Structure 1
Amino acid sequence: MKATHSPAPTAGAHLLLVDDDTDLLKLLSLRLHASGYRVSTAETAEAALGRIAVERFSLVVSDVRLPDRDGLALFEEIRRTCPVLPVILLTAHGSIPDAVEATSRGVFGYLTKPFDSQALLEKISQALQVGGPIHVGNDADDGDWRDEIISHSNRMATVLDEARLVAASDASILIRGDSGTGKELLARAIHRISSRANAPFVAINCGAIPEQLLESELFGHVKGAFTGAATANTGLFLTAHRGTVFLDEIGDMPLALQVKLLRVLQERAVRPVGASRAEPIDVRIISATHRDLELALAEGQFREDLFYRLNVVSLTLPTLDQRREDIPLLANHFLEVIGRKYHKRLRGFAPEAMEALATAAWPGNIRQLQNVVEQACALATTSLIPLALVERALRVPSIEALSYAEAKQRFERNYLIQLLKLTDGNVSDAARLADRNRTEFYRLLQRHALTPSLFRDGSVVARERQQ
């Protein structure tokens, strides 16, 4: 009986061919098109990098000898910006040592010219099947796991490719990125495409809950464990059993609690506050921070052993400035959602209004953009958002651009500075005014890197006047 073959899973993948031999480019393009691939070409390394910056490719096939740099240098640059994009190198000057060096540095394959076309097709098929996800059209094959993440930028595509790869494992993930870049959205997307998707996703902001309550929120407590514990609390870790725990702003977690979290991760068991025995748990940890954790390690504010437990895989979200091509897409998405919220028929932004959005500074990232669009929508009296409303929303500093934890931290720091100014740096007097003991007050000062001696003799006030 004759065997039947299903269509190749890599058919339709978008390949980039890089070679300064135009005849070879034409020949390879024809052969690859005939095999069902989409093909783009570039004759220099710089041209290739330019195309990779604005288009999504499933594989790069490059000659080693290029006019502006060699193929290995091109590979290193590709690996830096698109770590999951596989690369195959071709050369007329191949040797075994060259091949060993290339593959040891991460190149998927290495073929010597003249090569057999079938060998190249097989190598391409292998690379696509073990490499990153294949992108055909508008990601229709990706399902709905990333539906909440609105983007068509290449930088976000790379992050999402990495996220999809690591979601298949159970490794702990640390998501880095400035406030407002969408760290929790990415964590939820990873959970949805993981094997834990049918179990709970539980999120907690470690910087938004008072230290004395955070342990109970994370690990639970029994009835009567402390004053006010009238009922038992399961805790987020036990609630998320077999699912995912998302620890947002992990860099703000107090050191004492870091020790307890490390013990939970090591023992895979949680002991609620006041309980006599620990409960086994099975959870995946995704954490996030906008802080420089390496600096926090150096300053003794974050435990090194916990850092390495959480940072098995690191994903970094770009700022909105780094993905400006997404601004119109995001703005129109928010306009549609917020228009429904306010029961308004809004068709879009006037061209000059969209230009203002696309060129504005966005220190608050996507969260700030959403706030600006919402303010413009709330005040809109026409179906097209005019420039004046966008300019008004951009001019007004908005507290909504800050998270609760950020607003609390800013208030706390300003409050401490005012107390130190008022008492000329006298910690005892400042602590008394704040109704805190000296030890607790010193911890607050250390958290905000404030030195009391700098406030003595009015030195801070004098410096401010000089400025």
Structure 2
Amino acid sequence: MSGGKVLIVDDEKNIRRTLSMVLEGEDYDVLQAQTAEEGLRLLEGRQFDVVLLDVQLPGINGLEMLRRIRESDNEVDVIMMSGHASLANAVEATRLGAFDFFEKPLDRERVLLTLRNCLARRNLALRVQELQDKGGIFEMIGESSAMKQLRREIEKVGPTKGRVLITGESGVGKELVARAVHAISERSSRAFVKVNCAAIPAELIESELFGHERGSFSGATQRKRGKFEIADQGTIFLDEIGDMSLSAQAKVLRILQNGEMSRVGSERPLSVDVRVIAATNKDLQSAVQAQTFRDDLFYRLNVVPIYVPPLRERLADVPLLLNAFLSELSKEYGNRKKDITQEVVEALTNYNWPGNIRELRNLCERLIIMGADPIGLGDLPEYITPSREASSEHMSAIPAGSMSLRDFRHATERSYIESTLRAYGWNVSKTSEVLGVERTNLHKKIKKYDIDRDDTT
């Protein structure tokens, strides 16, 4: 079967039978248990994706079964059900890690939607773990076309000796790309040395890069090896190279030309064998024209240019990144990973992330520390979620009874598709990625709603 594996635990035969018929009709693989004891035995011997668990059971009740599942480190997702639901039960189930809580009588569409969301989140977590387990280049999480292209470029240049110039906005993960290039190179067993050129004062950058001799300047009480010496036989990563002084640029150029350098205060040349990877968030070609960056160094560095796209150009990767960061930070803080509502995932996928991946990770840290469990829209900063007042104002502008609910849905969908197409320059592939629909499906909707580019310009 193509669906997930579901265990139904309920003492009411009719509930079990009805749920089984519905789920099997949707290609789920279903097993049933009449008691918690029977359900726990099945969980010991088989793997399930989801358990649909009634609260009121003879013997061990559903909440106690949920507690035992969590204590056993079984990572199966649990959805609770109850015909006598109380707020206390729902709160306790949420505290114990239930994915959702259904009141009986069950609503067929809600059950199916929740199961789909639950399995989507589970598959997402498994995919993140798979990517992380592969390490190296695959630590760069993302399955968008932009990330696949980036990985292909890294796989090509990594094993070569070619110099690499990585460009992209601040916070996109340029260092991660540099480490991935090093990880699949012949130098992977040697040192990877990072130098943040923007963080080192101009008067110290040469000493930091090339080392110095004792007494070469005030405070130089002993000889010091520079970063290029430390990186010999390995890789040096010159981050934010656009901030390097012209005098330091001249010395880097000398290394690239003949593999030689000299410490500050010495004229004796030293030979080093270093692969240079540079990165910048600046336009180096403009800097060359402004004569703040050497043109000969630019051409030496720009052998293989790699562009790292901003997060707004690969919004389809946000759910994967979100899941990975929440898992990582939960372990770092020693907390159980919090659940997150689908509304939050959608809101974060529609945000444009000016601070890129760094901003997303910082937000995840904030949510781990301050957010509720599950994390809801109310936990997000106001600049990410649409204003409720603005939303209400927009809704009140539509006269009551002026259209059917079906017509309203269609008008809203048409308007949103149209505005998203405009925002992405009528790039259908990018728009379909952002909206989370297949490209062919988006084409059908454009035709269905008669959306014409000429009408919206």
**TM-score w.r.t. length of structure 1:** 0.53
Question: Which of residues 338, 356, 359 is equivalent to 1:365?
Answer: 356
1:232 to partner: Cα distance? 1.7
Q: CA deviation at 1:392?
A: 5.0
State the 1:342 CA deviation. 1.8
What amino acid is aligned across from residue 375 of structure 2 in structure 1? Answer: I
- Flag the 1:139–1:194 CA change in 2: closer, same or farther, 3 A: farther
Q: Residue in 2 aligned with 1:81?
A: none
- Rounded to whole Å, the distance in 2 between the matches of 1:381 and 1:331 is 16
Secondary structure at the counterpart of residue 203 of structure 2: helix
The secondary structure found in structure 2 opposite 1:348 is coil
- Counterpart among 146, 156, 168 of residue 147 in structure 2: 156
Q: What secondary structure is seen at the aligned counterpart in 1 of 2:138?
A: coil
3-state secondary structure, aligned to 2:136: coil
Distance in 1 between residues matched to 2:379 and 2:220, nearest whole Å? 49
1:143 positional shift: 4.9
Counterparts of residues 75-94 of structure 1 (less than 5 Å) = none
**Structure 2 residue 320 is matched with structure 1 residue 349:** no
Please name the residue that 2:246 is paired with: 255
- 2:324 paired with 1:325: no
In structure 2, relative to structure 1, the CA distance for the partners of 1:380 and 1:177 (3 Å cut) is: same
| Structure 1 match to 2:376 | 386
- 1:268–1:281 Cα contact (<8 Å) kept: yes
SS at match of 1:385: coil
Which residues of 2 match residues 61-460 of structure 1 at below 5 A?
A: 143-382=134-373, 384-391=374-381, 394=384
How far does the alpha carbon of each residue in 1:116-151 deviate from its partner, in whole angstroms, 9 at most, with x for none?
Answer: xxxxxxxxxxxxxxxxxxxxxx998x9532232111
Distance change (3 Å), C-alpha of 1:184 and 1:345? same
SS at match of 2:236: strand
- CA 1:269 to 1:245, structure 2 compared with 1: closer, same or farther past 3 Å? same
Q: For residue 178 of structure 1, what is the amino acid of its counterpart?
A: E
**Counterparts of 2:280 and 2:267, CA distance in 1:** 33
Runs of 4+ that moved beyond 4 A: 392-395
Q: 1:231 offset after TM fit, Å?
A: 2.1
Q: Distance in 2 between matches of 1:226 and 1:272?
A: 12
Letter in 2 for 1:360: Y
Q: How many residues align?
A: 256
Distance 2:375 2:158 in 1: 40
The CA distance in 2 between the partners of 1:281 and 1:289, in whole Å, is: 24
**Superposed displacement of residue 393, structure 1:** 8.0
Deviation at 1:152, TM superposition (A): 0.9
Q: Which whole-Å deviations, capped at 9, do the CAs of 1:405-463 have from their partners, x for residues lacking one?
A: xxxxxxxxxxxxxxxxxxxxxxxxxxxxxxxxxxxxxxxxxxxxxxxxxxxxxxxxxxx
> Could you tell me which amino acid in structure 2 is paired with residue 331 of structure 1?
L
> Match of 2:263, as an amino acid?
P
CA displacement 1:57-77 (0-9 Å, x = unmatched): xxxxxxxxxxxxxxxxxxxxx
Q: CA offset at residue 276 of structure 1?
A: 3.5
Contact 2:347 2:384 in 1 (8 A): no
| Residue 286 of structure 1: how far off its partner (Å) | 0.4
Deviations 1:266-309 (A, max 9, x none): 12012011124111000000000111111111111111100000
Deviations 1:173-208 (A, max 9, x none): 000111111000000011010000011000111111
Q: Deviations over 1:252-273 (max 9, x none)?
A: 1111211121112212012011
> How does the TM-score come out when normalised to structure 2?
0.54
Corresponding residue SS for 2:195:
strand
What letter is aligned with 2:273?
A: D
Aligned-partner residue type, residue 168 of structure 1:
P
The letter of the residue matching 1:145 is G
Q: Distance in 2 between matches of 1:279 and 1:317?
A: 34
Describe the SS at the equivalent of 1:152.
coil
